[in-house]
Copies of this chain bind each other. A is one copy, B any other.
Amino acid sequence: MRDLTQVSPKQIRNLIRKGKWDQPTAGLAMGYAQANLVILPEKYAFDFLLFCQRNPKPCPLLEVLEPGEHRTEFLSSDADIRTDLPRYNIYRKGRLEGTVKEIKNIWENDFVTFLLGCSFSFEEALLRSKIPVRHIEEKRNVPMFISSIPCKPSGVFYGPMVVTMRPIPPDKVSRAVQITSRYASVHGAPVHIGDPSKIGIKNLKKPDFGDPVTIKKGEVPVFWACGVTPQVVVMKAKPDLCITHTPGHMFISDLLNEELANL
């Protein structure tokens, strides 16, 4: 296998399109933004778009395609959303029906595609500033928790905010806030710093999704809004059909993480 960390997004999407890569995308095409995918039939699209507008931290929209459109414009000029992700989850009425490698055969002309920012982008910026990212050091998935922070509802969509936790040395917490604030389109600044019980989290060793990580003495648990939130919220609403990326198997865009930074 070639080293895909230095290969261009276009080349990787080509491999994926031809069925030659169906693995997770973490670390591929370093420096380029990856995106979460949610596809819904048009009748749910206004409510979900409004849900994202009302909850920009867990649901930072990078691009929304018009009904039936499967080519991106902003994130790439040559991508096809039906074939260019390694794996897709198909949900009917909120239940996972299966996982597939392309969705051309089930595509409908009323499908609306939402692409949302992913924390990979700001983690790269944290590492560049020598702020430790524990789950990367420990080669685990980031720990995720269902918090007691409610999202603002919209139409059929409602639910709690899912958050990720990263333990940060106390002298670097302020810098971590500054750095991630620059990335408003990929979850932005933390939603909570410190005592997990204040946001309804009982045990940091038992995440609801992902893996637990080591918290060293004195380190502060810092919580960011998580891109799993829209998936949890969509599943609760039980739409007739919903297609998402399979967790970890993201869309790789032509946009540099740095192009997403606001300041």
Contacts and interface: CB of A to CB of B under 8 A. Distances in A.
Interface of A: 42, 45-46, 49-50, 53-54, 61, 64, 66, 73-74, 152, 154-155, 181, 184, 262-263
B61 A53 contact: yes
A142 B178 CA distance: 34
Contact of A53 (B53, B73, B155, B181): B53
Contact of A50 (B49, B74, B184, B263): B49
A46 B263 CA distance: 30
B184 A262 contact: yes
Contact of A155 (B66, B73, B74): B66
The 9 closest A-B pairs by CB, nearest first: A46-B46, A49-B49, A50-B64, A181-B263, A45-B46, A53-B61, A53-B64, A263-B263, A49-B50
A262 B53 CA distance: 16
Nearest to A47: B66
7 contacts: A46-B46, A46-B49, A50-B66, A53-B61, A66-B154, A66-B155, A184-B184
A86 to B, nearest CB: 27
Contacts of A45: 46
A53 B54 CA distance: 12
Given A45-B46, A181-B262, 17 more contacts: A46-B49, A49-B49, A49-B50, A49-B53, A50-B64, A53-B61, A53-B64, A54-B74, A66-B154, A66-B155, A73-B152, A74-B152, A181-B263, A184-B184, A184-B262, A262-B262, A263-B263
Contacts of A50: 49, 64, 66
A205 B54 CA distance: 40
Nearest to A155: B66
